Amino acid sequence: MSLSLFFEQILNGLQFGIMLFVMAAGLTLVFGVMGLINLAHGSLYMVGAFACAAVAAATGSFWLGLVASLAAAAIAGVIVEIVVIRRLYARDHLDQVLATFALILIFSEATRYFFGSFPLYLDTPDILSGALTFPGGFQYPAYRLAIIVIGFVVAAGLFWLIGSTRLGIRIRAGESDREMITALGVDIGRLYTVVFALGAALAGFAGALVGAIQSVQIGMGEPVLILAFVVIVIGGIGSIPGALVASILVGLTDTLGRTLLPIVFGTFMDNSAATSTGSALASMLIYILMAAILVFRPTGLFGARG
Amino acid sequence: MLKSLGKIAALTTLLLAGTAHADPVKVGMITTLSGGGAGLGIDVRDGFMLAVKQSGNKDISVVVEDDQRKPDIAVQLADKMIQSEKVDVLTGIIWSNLAIAVVPAAVAQGKFYLSPNAGPSALAGKGCNKNYFNVAWQNDNLSEGAGAYAKATGYKNSFILAPNYPAGKDMLTGYKRTYGGDLAGEVFTKLGQKDYAAEIAQIRASGADSVFFFLPGGMGISFMKQYAASGVDTPLVGPAFSFDQGILQAVGAAAVGVRNASQWSKDIDNPTNKAFVETFQKEYGRLPSLYASQGFDTAALLLSAMGKADVKDADAFRAALKSADFNSTRGSFSFTENHHPVQDIYVREVIKEGDIYTNKIVSTALSGHGNVYVDQCKM
């Protein structure tokens, strides 16, 4: 494997990881602060992608679509929080799973009702289409580089929000002691709505960014949701730095595993057996990683000590 | 008295056997109507129902259920349809892994299964069955067409790529069978994978002169958009599944010019096909895909057999199906000994026609093409 291929795969892993982070950040906040398991987080990702595709098709501007994705997902998040989620905080996890699973079905069928069953068209903006050529002839798609940059900007923004703003202090306080922060006069109900809307907006944003290079279709959120849960379990529930480290770890493990494992197996097996065994094992790799980390740190990398 | 009654009964039975077609046929359609693969199932269903509607035949009733692309759900639906709905014929399955889970049990219970899409090698060779008919293709077929095209074009070093499931393996086998050149790389991806950055990087590094890929539905949309943005300009070739009418609009300009192999195209010149394309468009407001043509042909075959024999008389009905006496949208059509199509495979090119992305036929890759599993099949 040549050095430039290896470097390209590192970038690919980074890009995959950082998008997972944008998706997982909202999930881990909602789980950490409110103790809520939200399976419908993937649906908000889909809402963002569809809003972006619809607005981009109507106006011709991808950037307006991106703004629409943030707004649509945040609004959907607020509505869902007020109508459904609010009733679930005091219930046990099984009730939450059932109710939010129902939300997945409702979101999917509603999207099908409005947009039909066929995938929507959404392409990258012209300014970011094609590949950038680096010195030495190394090429990399401009849009993926932009995603990496945007992802890190979002991460920096979140660290600042959680670490140095009043809202961030309340979120952290809500995470460690819900009763005490209520007693101090903070309107916990409103805080929950804000956190949920923030998480939803991030999921929708990730959906729109990724939708432009993948396919905008019904059910696109669920595979990502599973990965996002893996990320927050590895990182430690409720921890934003944990989610960042874990998502990059998962992104790199998955991407490099897919490329390297078949090569490794190829050294002692014939070619087509090696590709099929290698790729089968590669798809399990992140779950093996999760299991291994949980053995040594049962609360995740950055989780509170139990 | 008793004797004459017996005679009358025997006579009536004979009469009934003669005009046997009055016996209604109940069809159970298990197909994918939700989730990422929904477009394919909806096209098969719509094509099938169009043929039924046009025939005006009141003796056929169809129950449609959604398998959600999950093998376990497909198996449950098949059990339900056989046991409580009492269907005579099953059809509809899109995905090979679902077909392998459902078909053997269904045909073992004496039901007919007409496949409008999936044609895994497992059901064409050793696992073939006298009650299983495939109206679409054996999985290898379109890839064999793509391989023949690659060979004729002079490609010598292909990078090949497919998802890790039965159809993916069949497709790569099919391509290798007719292509005959060297392989710059061979990669299996996850079924349902959406990000192909890692694979595209491998293609870039491999020095291949052509890329063969089989990625049906949303996987193909993602791959082609990402490929177009990657700056890699190695020519693509593949079976029609990543270029069907349902997904081309979502891929957009990234697909224009790509050559693909198909047993059907909307510009095949015969009256049945012309009428089919026109009426499908009128009925559903969109152009048909190859899946829709397969659904249409499946229903046309079934209706032709219903006109010849009673479904309760399994041997006669089977012979009627085997004779393939119907007007196919593909023109000439017959069955091999293992009940898979003999047909032409075309090379198509993606073009933009007005505002619509679609395909036109460039050449014929393979004529009167059957499949290689005939010899392994003992019925």
Q: A140-169, pLDDT tens digit by residue?
A: 999 999 999 999 999 999 999 998 999 999
Residues B76 and B62: their CA atoms lie apart, in Å, by 18
pLDDT tens-digit series, residues B74-127? 999 999 999 999 999 999 999 999 999 999 999 999 999 999 999 999 999 999
- Report the gap between the CA of A29 and the closest CA in chain B (Å): 26
**A275: contact with B, CB 8 A cutoff:** yes
On the CB side of A256, CA atoms within 13 Å amount to 13
- Is B229 in contact with A216 (Cβ distance < 8 A)? no
What pLDDT shows up at residue B17?
45
Q: Are B142 and B212 in contact (CB under 8 A)?
A: no
Tell me the C-alpha to C-alpha distance, in Å, between residue B198 and each of A24, A206, A222, B353: 22, 20, 21, 33
Nearest partner of A212 among A9, A19, A17, A73, judged by Cα = A19
Residues A227 and A223: their CA atoms lie apart, in Å, by 7
All residues at 6 or more sequence positions from A47 whose CB lies less than 8 Å from its CB, including other chains:
A69, A72, A73, A76, A107, A111, A204, A207
Q: For residue A90, is it within any domain?
A: yes
Residues B197 and A131: their CA atoms lie apart, in Å, by 13
Q: Which residues of B27-39 are buried (b: 16+ CB within 10 A; e: fewer)?
A: bbbbbbbbbbbbb
The crossing angle, in degrees rounded to 10, of helices A3-34 and A221-235 is 80
Beta carbon pairs, A and B, within 8 Å: 136
- Tokens found for residue A298: 């049962």
Three-point CA angle B151, B230, A120, nearest 5°? 95
- Is A213 in contact with B231 (Cβ distance < 8 A)? no
Which residues are B356's β-sheet partners? B353
- Is B201 in contact with A16 (Cβ distance < 8 A)? no
Confidence of residue B4 (pLDDT cuts 50, 70, 90): low
Q: For residue A255, is it within any domain?
A: no
- Is A141 in contact with B194 (Cβ distance < 8 A)? no
Strand pairing class (B112-115; B157-163): unpaired
- Is A271 in contact with B186 (Cβ distance < 8 A)? yes
Residue-number span of the structural domain to which A47 is assigned: 3-221
Q: In the CATH scheme, what architecture does the domain B140-262+345-370 have? A: 3-Layer(aba) Sandwich (3.40)
Hey, what's the torsion of the CAs at A249, A252, A256, A258, to 10 degrees? 90
Q: For residue A293, is it within any domain?
A: no
- Tokens found for residue B182: 């060297």
pLDDT tens-digit series, residues B127-145? 999 999 999 999 999 999 9
For residue A12, the chain B residue with the least C-alpha distance is B197
Burial of B64 (0-12, 13-18, 19+ CB in 10 A): middle
Average pLDDT of span B345-372:
94
All residues at 6 or more sequence positions from A105 whose CB lies less than 8 Å from its CB, including other chains:
none
Is residue B13 predicted with pLDDT exceeding 60? no
- For tokens 């959907």, the residue is A76
What pLDDT shows up at residue A254?
92
Per-residue tens of pLDDT for chain A, all 306 residues: 678 888 889 999 999 999 999 999 999 988 888 888 999 999 999 999 999 999 999 999 999 999 999 999 999 999 999 999 999 988 899 999 999 999 999 999 899 889 987 788 888 888 888 888 888 778 899 999 999 999 999 999 999 999 899 999 988 888 888 888 888 888 888 999 999 999 999 999 999 999 999 889 888 998 899 999 999 999 998 889 999 999 999 999 999 998 888 888 888 887 778 888 888 888 899 999 999 999 999 999 988 754
Residues A155 and A149: their CA atoms lie apart, in Å, by 10
**B207: contact with A, CB 8 A cutoff:** no
- Report the gap between the CA of A136 and the closest CA in chain B (Å): 14
- Report the gap between the CA of B312 and the closest CA in chain A (Å): 37
Q: For residue A24, is it within any domain?
A: yes
Homologous superfamily in CATH for domain B2-137+268-339 = Response regulator (3.40.50.2300)
CATH 3.40.50.2300-classified regions of chain B: 2-137+268-339, 140-262+345-370
A 10 A CB-CB count for B325 gives 14
- Is A276 in contact with B169 (Cβ distance < 8 A)? yes
For residue B252, the chain A residue with the least C-alpha distance is A121
How many domains does one find in chain A? 1
DSSP, collapsed to helix, strand or coil, labels residue B335 as: strand
- Is B247 in contact with A118 (Cβ distance < 8 A)? yes
Q: For residue A299, is it within any domain?
A: no
Burial of A166 (0-12, 13-18, 19+ CB in 10 A): exposed
Q: For residue A297, is it within any domain?
A: no
Average pLDDT of span B355-370:
94
Residues of chain A with Cβ-Cβ distance to B250 below 8 Å are 118-121, 215-217
Q: For residue A192, is it within any domain?
A: yes
The model scores a pTM over 0.90: no
- Is A139 in contact with B231 (Cβ distance < 8 A)? yes
What pLDDT shows up at residue B194?
87
- Tokens found for residue B251: 């891929």
Q: What share of chain A is helix, strand, coil (3-state, %, to 5)?
A: 75, 5, 20
Torsion angles phi and psi, residue A40, rounded to 5: -80, 5
Beta strand ranges found along chain A (DSSP E): 131-133, 139-141
Tell me the C-alpha to C-alpha distance, in Å, between residue A222 and each of A35, A208, A278, B200: 21, 15, 25, 24
